[in-house]
Amino acid sequence: MRAGIFRFMISKTSIPNRQIGEEIVLHIRRHWFIFFRLFLVFVVLSLIPALVYYFLLFNLPIIFKNQIGVVILAVLALIYYLFMLVYALTAWTTTYLDVWTITTFRIINREQEGLFSRTVAELDLYRVQDVTAEQKGVLATLLGYGDVYIQSAGEKERFVFEQISNPYGIAKILQKLNEKARKENPGL
Amino acid sequence: MIITLSIFYYLFLVAVAVFLLYSLFNVYHLLRFGFFSLINVLVIVLYVLIAASFLYFSFSILMTVDWSTPLIDFGNMSNNPF
């Protein structure tokens, strides 16, 4: 039971324009390491004012002997942390709201490209022509994340599942569902 | 004409306004387009708590400052605050 403002959130089991017999196979998000990397970036960024403080303390100590200097530095540091906080949430929002859903009939692509840019697209599984999984780089190989490219018939753009866990396994699932969908839709 | 330290207070208020606006957009997106999951609810609640605490902390520090302190006195340019 959802209360208050949380009742507006999307249920994990809901499918937009659900067809008869359609079930969710998977919801896919980026690999946990992508979120962890974001966290690390903000930990490093949060240390910058401290580094600046020590730099000024040793190189321009006169600033700290004057009340005006201290106040200006404090205001600038507070503004810096305000922007860092909101930038961290924006980074989280744009990463967390990228969700790829595989159902028994379709692939639903929800991508938050920025705070003011969101794309929702879907592709029928029987229209999938090619599925390619790719892992590039040492970290991606060690941690097991990568991209899955889905090429559809007659579509210029490819669907890309970016930086997801187990890309080869996901590609296999997509290929199996694609075969099944093609058998069920032989004329299409 | 005297420019006081309050100019930095106004600068901070503008930053707070931008912060609140962007925070609102973000929380709206998470509520409107995010799944109802523990992690999503937790992030929203934690963010609101951290943001409120930070703003409270900031204002409680800034309240102790004498913002009428002259920063630049154009009538007396030799008045160097440093």
Tens-place pLDDT, residues A22-32 = 888 999 999 99
List the domain boundaries for chain A.
Answer: 24-188
pLDDT digits 0-9 by tens, A46-55: 999 999 999 9
pLDDT reported for residue A163: 94
Cβ–Cβ contact B64 with A under 8 A: no
Decide if A71 contacts B8 (C-beta within 8 A).
yes
So what's the ipTM on this one? Answer: 0.86
pLDDT digits (tens, 9 = 90+) for A137-170: 999 999 999 999 999 876 566 789 999 999 999 9
What is the pTM for the complete model shown? 0.84
CA distance A93 to chain B (A): 7
One DSSP character per residue, A64-131 reads GGSHHHHHHHHHHHHHHHHHHHHHHHHHHHHHHT-EEEEESSEEEEEEEEETTEEEEEEEEGGGEEEE
User: How confident is residue A67, by pLDDT bands cut at 50, 70 and 90?
Assistant: confident
Closest CA to A95 of A82, A110, A80: A110
- Helix A67-96 and helix B6-33: axis angle, to 10°? 10
Return d(Cα A155, Cα A179) in angstroms, integer: 19
Choose the closest CB to A86 out of B23, B40, B43: B23
Amino acid identity, residue A47?
L
Compute the distance between CA of residue B17 and CA of residue B28 in angstroms, rounded to an integer: 16
Task: Write out residues in chain B with pLDDT < 50, as ranges.
Answer: none
In eight-state DSSP terms, residue A7 is G
Whether the pLDDT of residue A71 is over 70: the answer is yes
Query: Could you give the C-alpha distances from A59 to A39, A55, A177, in angstroms and in order?
Result: 31, 6, 65
pLDDT recorded at residue A154:
65
Closest Cα partner for A49 from A23, A25, A81? A81
Q: Report the pLDDT value the prediction gives residue A157, as an integer from 0 to 100.
A: 64
Q: Is the pLDDT of residue A35 over 70?
A: yes
pLDDT at A155: 54
Q: Tell me yes or no: is domain A24-188 CATH 2.130.10.10.
A: no
Q: Residue written as tokens 């992508």?
A: A34
Query: How many Å apart are CA A177 and CA A103, to the nearest integer?
Result: 9
pLDDT of B41 reads 92
A29, A86, A98, A119: best to mutate for the B interface, most B CBs within 10 A: A86
* Chain B residues near residue A97 by CB distance under 8 angstroms: 29-30, 33-34
